[in-house]
A and B are shown apart, each in its own frame.
Chain A
């Protein structure tokens, strides 16, 4: 069994960069069991030995109030780690050591501090006496700069030494005032009699009881019974009377005082408060007006980058799969087998795989936003607008990414800490038109509304975005209820992102897209191929697809759409741009867009075309998106999202069609 090293620390301390520095490319991204919190694991090599490095979620403390904190806390509490590396931002010591003390209070002895961003501290004018720091804290301290690799070898050496028990660690623990200390001893005495004494640090349990930690209260209650528990809680109530405040505040306060005392023993020079580049940038970037303009400009350029680089790649991949299919097809004699492999598997999977460059680049864009520190500012700027629709400011990011592709957008909802916010953002996400739907919208607008095509395309976007926001309001009120999450967010110093981190992160995430997409899309592509080729191929009017299309016609007729539209929409579930391609197949003219335009103009009124592009935008998300929602939010919410969009599209389609008929008389 490999020994386990756990990385703990605040967000924005360079924990991920340190993780990358320790593990290199030998890493794996998954989820913590039962929750959609990202779990990163990697292998650290040292002198021929291998260690498993686990990146715990970045947290500010270890309370029971957030999933992230509970994951980190339980991991440490259950003794799952042989060594804990506490990553501390040396330029922001006070707050970072708060988490350190929370960890130490659990009775942890196998710990090393990585005093990270040491370059930044020096630049800010903070000077340390490292020897003294180790002595005062009783923990090995290694100054590091994960970005350029400073101190990494030294850190590895210390980690291994602690893992092997060659360094004895004797950490300090915070001491509180007499009244609280007396109560801690009192509670510990009571707990000593229980089985809890074997598994937990009693002092930690006592302190958590004083702060009325729900999980610990539950745990202790199961061992003590109601009578003794009530007695303890009564005592705590009396203490709160005495301090006139909740004990969690009192204890936190005293903990900070304790830390302040420690820091003064080993920090020899403190930073002067002066305006940094970050402050200057923030004056513009968080400004109500300039901030909004900068946000628009930043996202404009990011998208320009994503599409300029991504679209040619996408097109060449697309034609690559076309050529691949043709060439392989030549060697397959059996018609059915050829159809299955060329049209079904290669065609279907290829059309989704060709989105891979776009997905990867969107992840790159997102990582750049995250790692540079801008993401937090975007959340601040958007907070007041999004809040009007019961959404947090952060949910803006997934909504913007969705203009590129909904799959990375749905995966990006992970950045939201609150479960309710995350589900809500995920479900309305498909209503933001992705680039595949842009193809359909612009094609139909171009064919049917030559003079006003831009206006029509924009109106489709406006309607669906409007519906996304209104849906958030409605769903948050009636379906995904729950408390509004408090908006408290740290604005880290701006950083130039490290390309290595950005590429590793984007690659890990897009690999997930491939894996998830791979299986579901393959099955979907084969199913659609079957429906369109049996018992007779599409175009004959006898395929299952057309039979289903005709069966759906009574419903689509209400929106003014015939069976051809119904069939196209079915194929659009694989990938939305298929809606147009299917018309080509039905008319038997393949990919000739010009001829297709002429034929469609004869068969449809502009109103019908408008409804078709609107319904294409709104109805069922594509398979890849449904799979992403299922992976991130579970089967239930994937079903809710699919049904909700389907119903919404039907209702809006019918409404708009009849409204149009009425207006045009």
Chain B
């Protein structure tokens, strides 16, 4: 059974997958995320999340590190297996 929950990216655990639902925050950061392929609907996997360091996610075949401040403004639909 697959449980679905909406969480901030900061609350995702290492190894978890999900789909980006919304990006809040300043337009500068948002535009940068968009250019890197992170928009609502994008499937991501959390590779590394060890507070207070940045979160590293896999998007397609690329890896992107995101500071906690911004990660807290990304809403993800988490898929728990």
Q: Which positions in A face B, CB cutoff 8 Å?
A: 59-61, 63, 65-66, 91-92, 94-95, 98-99, 124, 212, 245-246, 248-249, 252-253, 256, 271, 273, 278-279, 282-283, 286-288, 376, 379-381, 383-384, 387, 393, 483-484, 486-492
Q: List 24 A-B pairs, Cβ < 8 Å.
A: A61-B35, A63-B31, A95-B62, A124-B61, A249-B39, A252-B34, A253-B39, A273-B58, A278-B63, A286-B56, A288-B53, A380-B56, A381-B53, A383-B67, A393-B54, A483-B26, A487-B54, A487-B67, A488-B29, A488-B65, A489-B65, A490-B63, A490-B65, A492-B62
Q: Which residues of B contact A249 (CB under 8 A)?
A: 23, 30, 34, 39-40
Q: How far is the CA of A508 from the CA of B52 in the complex (A)?
A: 38
The answer to whether A61 touches B34 (Cβ under 8 A) is yes
CB contacts (< 8 Å) of B28 on chain A: these are: 65-66, 486
Q: Kindly state the separation between the CA atoms of A52 and B65 in the bound complex, as whole angstroms.
A: 36
Cα–Cα, bound, A65→B53 (Å): 25
Knowing that A124-B61, A282-B48 touch, tell me 19 more A-B residue pairs with CB under 8 angstroms. A63-B31, A66-B28, A95-B60, A98-B35, A98-B37, A248-B34, A252-B34, A256-B39, A256-B42, A282-B47, A288-B53, A384-B53, A483-B26, A486-B67, A487-B67, A487-B70, A489-B65, A491-B63, A492-B62
Task: Report whether A491 and B61 are in contact in the complex, using a CB–CB cutoff of 8 Å.
Answer: no
From B40, B47, B65, name the one whose CB has the most chain A CB atoms within 10 angstroms.
B65
Partner of A253 from B41, B62, B64 at Cβ < 8 Å: B41
Q: Is the interface of B mostly helix, strand, loop or mixed?
A: mixed
Q: Could you say which residues of chain A place their CB within 8 Å of the CB of B60?
A: 92, 94-95
* Complex Cα spacing A63 to B54, Å: 25
Give the nearest-CB partner of A260 in chain B: B41
Residues from chain B with a CB closer than 8 A to the CB of A66 are: 28, 32
How many angstroms between the C-alpha atoms of A491 and B22 in the bound complex?
A: 23
Contact among A60, A124, A381 for B36, CB-based, below 8 A: A60
- Distance of A487 Cα from B64 Cα, bound (Å): 10
- Cβ B35 vs Cβ A60 within 8 A: yes
Residues of chain B with a CB closer than 8 A to A248's CB: 27, 30-31, 34
Enumerate B64-80 residues with CB–CB distance to A below 8 Å: 64-67, 69-70
> Hey, which chain B residues are within 8 Å of A253, CB to CB?
39-41
Cβ contact within 8 Å between A488 and B67: yes
B61 contact set on A, CB distance < 8 A: 91-92, 124, 271, 273
Q: How far is the CA of A59 from the CA of B31 in the complex (A)?
A: 12
In the complex, what residue of chain B is closest to A96 when comparing beta carbons? B37
Question: What residue in chain A is nearest B32 (Cβ atoms)?
Answer: A488
B35 touching A383 by the CB < 8 A rule? no
B33 within 8 A of partner (CB): yes
Cβ contact within 8 Å between A488 and B63: no
Q: Indicate which residue in B35, B48, B52 contacts A384 across the interface (CB closer than 8 Å).
A: B52
Do A488 and B37 form a contact, CB below 8 Å, given A61-B31, A286-B56?
no
A381 surroundings in chain B (CB, below 8 A) = 53
- Considering the chains assembled together, what is the distance between the CA atoms of A271 and B61 in angstroms? 8
**A384 to B53 Cα, complex, angstroms:** 5
Q: Which residues of A contact B52 (CB under 8 A)?
A: 384
Asked whether, in the complex, the Cβ of A282 is within 8 Å of the Cβ of B39, the reply is no
**B33 to nearest A CB, angstroms?**
6
With the chains together, A286 CA to B57 CA distance in Å? Answer: 12
Residue of B nearest to A291 (CB): B53
* Shortest distance between the CB of A606 and any CB in chain B (Å): 42
Q: Are the C-beta atoms of B56 and A491 separated by less than 8 Å?
A: yes
Which of A95, A282, A393, A492 is in CB contact (< 8 Å) with B37? A95
Of A63, A65, A252, A253, the most chain B CB neighbours within 10 A belong to A252
Bound Cα distance A136, B41 (Å): 24
Closest 9 CB pairs of A and B: A60-B35, A487-B67, A61-B35, A95-B37, A486-B29, A491-B63, A252-B34, A65-B28, A63-B31
> Which residue of chain B has the shortest Cβ distance to A254 in the bound complex?
B39
> Separation in Å of the B61 CB from the closest CB of chain A?
5
Q: Which residues of B contact A279 (CB under 8 A)?
A: 47, 63
Q: Are B53 and A60 in contact (CB under 8 A)?
A: no
Are B34 and A99 in touch, CB under 8 angstroms?
no
Instruction: Kindly list chain A residues whose C-beta atoms are within 8 Å of the C-beta of B32.
Output: 60, 65-66, 486, 488
In the complex where A248-B27, A286-B48 touch, is A486 in contact with B63 (Cβ < 8 A)?
no
Residue of B nearest to A65 (CB): B28
Q: Is the CB of B27 within 8 A of A65?
A: yes
Residues of B within 8 A of A246 (CB): 27, 30
A94: B residues at CB distance < 8 A:
37, 60
Q: Determine if B50 and A288 form an interchain contact, defined as CB atoms under 8 angstroms apart.
A: yes
Nearest A residue to B37 via CB reads A95
Residues of A within 8 A of B33 (CB): 488
B63 CB, nearest partner CB in chain A, Å? 4
Bound together, the chains give a CA A484 to CA B26 distance in angstroms of 11
Quick one: given A92-B62, A282-B63, A487-B67, are A380 and B53 in contact (CB under 8 Å)?
yes
CA distance A287 to B47 in the complex (A): 11
